[in-house]
């Protein structure tokens, strides 16, 4: 995820979940290709599915998608030309790569096997896929969508996945912005939701509608410290310090410092981001000055430092 120069793994993942949930085991390749193409034409707006620097020929699947998108939307489903292009492109590309992670090789589970030859090939959905599709319910789709969005948004903003540093939360717009360029990237909510498993940081209950007003972005170490005029610590608006919470849970916490347990969970959440190949990872490396072999220790030290800075005095103005 985020490690390829196109987003193809996302629509394939979404299509596999759809088909598995409908209870199917053996799916004609053309059905998978149709569902895959449907997910691509359903994307909001015209977010790019590849960096603009990538040059594409007429026969490239993304070129076909660009030509067929409008017609597909009008028709309420992918056009024949688009489905044909997907049938032709996915077996040799995304379906080969799906089970491989750069630097890690084959993943431990296989979610499908491709059988037969030519256009009549059959995609056999495995029990591992069925297990994931049933257990995950909505959460996995939300996480997939959020990660898909951040990769699209980074392509859109012309930011390479290794260059996304210094992402900050813009309080006014609710967007993640690239600090130096002031490029709005994507909704922070969508970007960090997956790392909280769709649940409130404080009460652990499901968050529900991510874009709804009842979900707040919360500073674990209170933002108030930055307004004291004598704050010597790091920017508390960094992703490393931000979590999602219900409005009520956020209000209840308000300006108090985090508990030991909350700090432990923040560290675990940041570790999860840092160990994933998402663009957000780079923001943590930069904001926390923690990259390389001892990164986890450095992240820990960083939090310990903030903790000592926020316990030297009380915040008087509550």
Q: Does the protein bind Zn ion through residue 220 (CB under 5 A)?
A: no
- Using the contact rule CB under 5 A, the part of the chain among 41-49, 241-249, 260-268, 304-312 near Zn ion is 241-249
CB of 198 to Zn ion, least distance (A): 12
- Using the contact rule CB under 5 A, the part of the chain among 92-100, 183-191, 195-203, 253-261 near Zn ion is 195-203
Q: Does the protein bind Zn ion through residue 249 (CB under 5 A)?
A: yes
For residues 107 and 203, which CB has a smaller minimum distance to Zn ion in the complex? 203
How many amino acids of this chain bind Zn ion (CB under 5 A)? 5
Contact 309, 233 (CB under 8 A): yes
For residues 174 and 208, which CB has a smaller minimum distance to Zn ion in the complex? 208
Contact 317, 224 (CB under 8 A): yes
CB of 164 to Zn ion, least distance (A): 29
- Using the contact rule CB under 5 A, the part of the chain among 155-163, 223-231, 248-256, 290-298 near Zn ion is 248-256
CA angle 308, 310, 314 (to 5 degrees): 125
- Using the contact rule CB under 5 A, the part of the chain among 28-36, 245-253, 280-288, 291-299 near Zn ion is 245-253
Task: Give the number of residues written for the chain.
Answer: 318
Which residue among 200, 243, 274, 287 contacts Zn ion (CB under 5 A)?
200
- In 3D space, the residue among 122, 98, 101 whose CA is nearest the CA of residue 110 turns out to be 98
Q: Does the protein bind Zn ion through residue 203 (CB under 5 A)?
A: yes
For residues 119 and 203, which CB has a smaller minimum distance to Zn ion in the complex? 203
> What is the spatial distance between Cα 157 and Cα 48, in angstroms, rounded to a whole number?
10
> What is the spatial distance between Cα 208 and Cα 198, in angstroms, rounded to a whole number?
8
For residues 148 and 202, which CB has a smaller minimum distance to Zn ion in the complex? 202
For residues 236 and 244, which CB has a smaller minimum distance to Zn ion in the complex? 244
Spell out the residues 6+ positions from residue 10 whose beta carbon is closer than 8 angstroms to its own: 1, 39, 144, 147, 148, 151
Handedness of CA 249, 253, 255, 257 (dihedral sign): negative
- Using the contact rule CB under 5 A, the part of the chain among 21-29, 64-72, 150-158, 203-211 near Zn ion is 203-211
Distance, first Cα to last Cα, the chain: 42
What residue is closest to Zn ion based on CB?
A: 200
Q: Does the protein bind Zn ion through residue 246 (CB under 5 A)?
A: yes
Reported as type and span, the H/E element at residue 19 is helix 9-21
Total Cβ atoms within 10 A of residue 92: 9
CB of 238 to Zn ion, least distance (A): 22
> What is the spatial distance between Cα 55 and Cα 41, in angstroms, rounded to a whole number?
21
Residues contributing to the site for Zn ion (CB under 5 A): 200, 202-203, 246, 249
């Amino acid at each position: 995820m985020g490690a390829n120069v196109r987003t193809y793994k996302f629509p394939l993942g979404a299509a596999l979940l759809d088909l598995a949930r409908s209870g199917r085991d053996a799916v004609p390749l053309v059905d998978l290709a149709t569902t895959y193409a449907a997910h691509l034409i359903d994307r909001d707006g015209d977010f790019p599915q590849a960096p603009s620097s990538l040059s594409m020929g007429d026969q490239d699947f993304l070129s076909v998608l660009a030509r067929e998108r409008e017609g597909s939307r009008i028709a309420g489903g992918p056009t024949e030309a688009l489905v044909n292009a997907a049938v032709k492109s996915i077996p040799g590309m995304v379906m080969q790569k799906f089970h491989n992670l750069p630097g890690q090789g084959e993943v431990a589970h296989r979610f499908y096997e491709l059988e037969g030859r030519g256009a009549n090939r059959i995609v056999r959905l495995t029990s591992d896929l069925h297990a994931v599709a049933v257990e995950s319910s909505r959460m996995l789709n939300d996480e997939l969508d959020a990660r898909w969005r951040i990769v699209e948004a980074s392509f859109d903003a012309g930011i390479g996945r290794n260059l996304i540093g210094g992402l900050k939360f813009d309080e006014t717009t609710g967007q993640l912005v690239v600090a130096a360029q002031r490029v709005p990237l994507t909704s922070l909510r969508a970007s960090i939701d997956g790392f909280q498993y769709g649940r409130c940081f404080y009460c652990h209950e499901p968050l529900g509608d991510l874009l709804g007003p009842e979900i707040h972005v919360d500073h674990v170490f209170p933002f108030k410290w930055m307004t004291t005029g004598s704050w010597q610590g790091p920017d508390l608006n960094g992703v490393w310090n931000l979590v999602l919470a219900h409005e009520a849970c956020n209000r209840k916490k308000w300006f108090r410092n985090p508990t030991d347990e909350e700090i432990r969970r923040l560290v675990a959440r940041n570790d999860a981001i840092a160990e994933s190949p998402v663009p957000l990872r780079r923001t943590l490396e930069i904001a926390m000055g923690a990259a390389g072999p001892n990164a986890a220790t450095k992240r820990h030290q960083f939090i310990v430092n903030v903790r000592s800075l926020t316990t030297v005095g009380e915040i008087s103005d509550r």
